[in-house]
Amino acid sequence: MGMRITILGTSGSAPTKDRMMPGVVLTYDGSTMLFDCGEGSQMQMMKYGINFSKISAIFISHAHGDHIIGLAGLVRTMAMNRRSADLDIFVPRGYEGIVKTLISFDKALMTYRINIHGVGSGVVYEGKEFNIRAFHLNHTIPSCGYVFREADRRRFIVEKAKKLGIKGAMHSELQGKGWIKVGRRRITLQSVTTVQKGKSFVYATDTRPSRRTVAAARNADLLIHESSYSESEKALARDRKHSTAAEAAAVAKAAKVRRLVLIHISARYSSVGSLEKEARSVFMNSEVARDGEVIVL
């Protein structure tokens, strides 16, 4: 089952001619989920081939306008397309009312139920083979990061199973019972399988570098982390509770993630080369995201 992540927007606070407002789409085994919904998110989804009618859940990091304003237009378009399935929206606890006000201006058009969930930390959403957990970030208002974690799977060691005479329906019997008898030999599931660790993706914006993020992202396949400023603006980052590229890279390094992708770039930077260079000086496998970039895990 492939995990496909599409970056809708990489700018922070205000758009630029090249970068739109924050938004990331995750598709996995038929499920489509949206992380943040900045202004223009539905246009970006149309541009990059995302069917937003299939979105089952939206995870909002915090209630600042650049992360939620796109919700108003998106839920309205879903209704105009005659959506009937429920939509779940997750937002830091205490800010449910802001989201409700934002999306309820056009009640007459609603063709489906919208469930708004206030979240703190812990598992907030579960699918057939995955779950999504929230954790606290360090920003000027209550904010949450999110961890998508795929379930671990057992895979047969084909040659070993074959050598022991396991074939056909015996595989499913072994999976169901946990053991099987072949001749006089009792064979356990553990002896002929290996555990394939599920993949994980972490979304963390807006925030100062945080030990909570390091813990949440431990050994993750992908960390998407904000990088509002360069090191020359470190004092501003600290004051506004954002991160520099190098600080985000330090989080990735401490967490031992496989890959770091930087978003939420301040509109003051017309070129992102210096930010990428700063991040790579700390953690080599770093990059600044581009709008429309697709990452397959």
| Residues labelled catalytic | 66
Q: What amino acid is encoded at 151 in this protein?
A: A
Non-local CB neighbours of 257 within 8 Å, separated by 6+ positions: 202, 217, 219, 220, 221, 222, 223
Cα 213 from Cα 150, distance rounded (Å): 18
Cα 153 from Cα 192, distance rounded (Å): 13
Taking alpha carbons only, the member of 233, 253, 255, 256 closest to residue 243 is: 233
Beta strand segments in the chain, E? 3-9, 11-12, 23-28, 31-35, 55-59, 87-92, 114-119, 122-126, 130-136, 144-150, 153-156, 179-182, 185-188, 193-196, 200-204, 222-226, 260-263, 265-266, 286-288, 294-296
Beta bridge partners of 295: 5
Start-to-end Cα distance in the chain: 9
Q: ∠205-210-211 over CA atoms, to 5°?
A: 135
